[in-house]
Structure 1
Amino acid sequence: MSALTLHRADGLLTVQDLGRPGHLAEGLSRGGAMDRRALLEAAALLGARQPPAGIEMAGAGGTFTVSAPTRIALTGAPMRATLDQEPLRWNSTHLVNPGQRLRIGALQAGVYGYLVPAGGMATPDWLGSRAAHLTIGIGQLLSSGSELPIGPDPEPHRPALTLPPDPRFEGGVVRVMDGPQTALFDAEVIEAFYATEFTRGVRGNRQGVQLEAARRFTSGHAKGLASDLIGPGDVQMTGEGAPYVLMAECQTVGGYPRLGTVLPADLPRIAQAAPGMKLRPVHVTLKQAIALHQPEAEELREIAARCQPLVRDPATIRDLLSYQLIGGITRGDDLERE
């Protein structure tokens, strides 16, 4: 078994995949990557049919080495990355060989970056997933000195690929549909909610993200509300009327009223909004939400179709002179021929 060694952890690092759906009845929320699209991008870049487990890096990355040649995909929030001090392009694949040192530094935008080896993380599987779910004690934060098993790269010599940047790391519009408790809010409150440009608050983690605004959004019909099933994307209002968008590791039941639900396609934008970023909710009907829904398998195919060969900038290739750039034999009169 190959290994990925974490020599130094600079951010909050966990192993994540697409989580554990189907266990709400046992009180276990899905969990998994905060930015699911980042794992789909990694799978497309690596030529995988399903997103392999990778390392989610919140805030900053760390320093890594591998024990066998393996391709990696760097996706999600862009971070400064180098391989033996040579800059690496984000949203791309790169081959890492034993003895080379991969360094992933601070964020340039967003919140969560992802390092995904081609063979995936091979850490222990529990209920069909390798994802850490810290709120209930599954897995743990990765620490400096950890040696993590990874699967073998099925195609280590596959050409490197890249994807155009995705504009989901600077806030923006998020689409919200009605939920089962929307009618508990007065029409004036709902209208004010959709007329407000929110700021991503400082309170936020893998359970939920705070949206800040000058006014509050309360309901006079929520007193004594019984706890109900909740999930990622639900917009809960606290007793003071402060909205929180529930995220990957949210609880499975809650008693705060929910004004609506953010569409799954826009949850990566919420997850990647750093404190201070602006987020503007836009209302969509149930019919519109159904029409906009895209299964993740279809989304993966769409992303794969946009992958392009990674062309390295010669100015950044430190060992450029070691490459064979010209091949073949010529008499010198090629240009004279018709």
Structure 2
Amino acid sequence: MRQMSVLRAGPAITVQDAGRPGMLVQGLSRGGAADPVALAEGAALLGQSRDLAALELAGFGGVFGFAESTRLALTGAPMRADIDGKALTWNASHQIEPGQILTVGGCEAGAYGYLHLAGGVATDPVLGSRSAHLVAGIGAPVRAGDNLPIGPDAGQGQNLVLDVEDRFSGGTARVVHSAQTALFPAAERERFEATEFTRDDRANRMGVRLTLAGKGFAADRQLSILSEVIVPGDIQVTGDGTPFVLLPECQTTGGYPRIGTVIPADLPMVAQAGPGARLRFR
């Protein structure tokens, strides 16, 4: 089986695919790629199944070696990348030859870049997925010295390029009502929609913390809310009034009131908002 050698690795590289749907009843959130759009783009560029696993590069990439010819693609948050010093086009597929070195730097915008390999990263699946779910203790970050197996290349296509969708600098996310939206007075809901938030530095695969100028938000009877099922996209409002948008590795239950839920189509934009990016919710 082909392998990719990890010569250097950023601090938060993980293997990710579409995650583990249907495990919520077992107390495990779906997990999977923080930006499923990027996962699908990589599959399209390589002409292969979108179910195959890729490397998710959170903030920083790494240096990778190959002993055999391998097709690869780079998607998600734009990062500087090169093969043996020759710059690569982002959101595109490429060919790397034996002995060549792929170097991927830090994010130029956004938060999560993706390295896709033709045939997928073929680590052993757990509960039907190869995704690391660090909160649940499944898998581990990719480290220097790892040799990652690559599956059979059944796809086709290289030197393909997709237009880069601008979802890496914040924007306006569409929101629907959640179970507790009605507990927030109309004036609070209107203020929430009128507020421009900043993506806090304290964000990870569990969720994005939002900061704002002025006071936070409060729901009526929020201290009497029982813990119940929560899902990615839910916007919890913590005890100090701070909104927190849940991402794929969120917990499965929570007792904070939810002022709304980001629709799945817009959640990748929230996940990809880099530190300091401006976000609104409508």
- TM-score, with normalisation over the residues of structure 2? 0.97
How do residues 65-144 of structure 1 correspond to structure 2 at under 5 angstroms?
65-144=65-144
Give me the CA root mean square deviation.
Answer: 1.0
On the 8 A contact 1:196/1:280 being kept in 2, the answer is yes
Partner of 1:23: 23
Partner of 2:180: 181
Q: For the residues of structure 2 that align with 1:53 and 1:46, how far apart are their CA atoms?
A: 13
On the 8 A contact 2:95/2:158 being kept in 1, the answer is no
Deviation at 1:159, TM superposition (A): 3.7
On the 8 A contact 1:208/1:245 being kept in 2, the answer is yes
On the 8 A contact 2:48/2:155 being kept in 1, the answer is no
1:236 aligned onto 2:246: no
Paired residue secondary structure (2:280): strand
On the 8 A contact 2:71/2:158 being kept in 1, the answer is no
> Whose radius of gyration is greater, 1 or 2?
1
Aligned residue pairs total 281
Q: For the residues of structure 1 that align with 2:223 and 2:10, how far apart are their CA atoms?
A: 44
Deviation at 1:12, TM superposition (A): 1.2
Q: For the residues of structure 2 that align with 1:47 and 1:121, how far apart are their CA atoms?
A: 15
Q: For the residues of structure 1 that align with 2:176 and 2:10, how far apart are their CA atoms?
A: 38
Q: For the residues of structure 1 that align with 2:253 and 2:48, how far apart are their CA atoms?
A: 35
- TM-score, with normalisation over the residues of structure 1? 0.82
On the 8 A contact 1:17/1:129 being kept in 2, the answer is yes
On the 8 A contact 1:69/1:98 being kept in 2, the answer is yes
Q: For the residues of structure 2 that align with 1:49 and 1:256, how far apart are their CA atoms?
A: 38
Partner of 1:225: 225
Deviation at 1:50, TM superposition (A): 2.6
On the 8 A contact 2:119/2:155 being kept in 1, the answer is no
Letter in 1 for 2:235: V
Deviation at 1:33, TM superposition (A): 0.6
| Cα distance change of structure 1 residues 134 and 57 upon mapping to structure 2, 3 Å threshold | same
Letter in 2 for 1:4: M
Task: Give unmatched runs, 5+ long, in structure 1.
Answer: 283-338
Partner of 1:201: 200
Deviates more, 1:25-34 or 1:61-70: 61-70
Deviation at 1:61, TM superposition (A): 0.5
Q: For the residues of structure 2 that align with 1:67 and 1:281, how far apart are their CA atoms?
A: 47
1:42 aligned onto 2:31: no
% identical equivalent positions: 53
Q: For the residues of structure 1 that align with 2:26 and 2:216, how far apart are their CA atoms?
A: 34
Deviation at 1:95, TM superposition (A): 0.6
Letter in 1 for 2:219: S
| Cα distance change of structure 1 residues 11 and 80 upon mapping to structure 2, 3 Å threshold | farther
Paired residue secondary structure (2:266): helix
Partner of 1:299: none
On the 8 A contact 2:48/2:119 being kept in 1, the answer is no
Partner of 1:267: 267
Q: For the residues of structure 1 that align with 2:97 and 2:153, how far apart are their CA atoms?
A: 12
On the 8 A contact 1:11/1:62 being kept in 2, the answer is no
Letter in 2 for 1:180: A
On the 8 A contact 1:70/1:152 being kept in 2, the answer is no
Write out the 4+ residue segments of structure 1 that deviate beyond 3 Å after TM superposition.
none
Paired residue secondary structure (2:174): strand
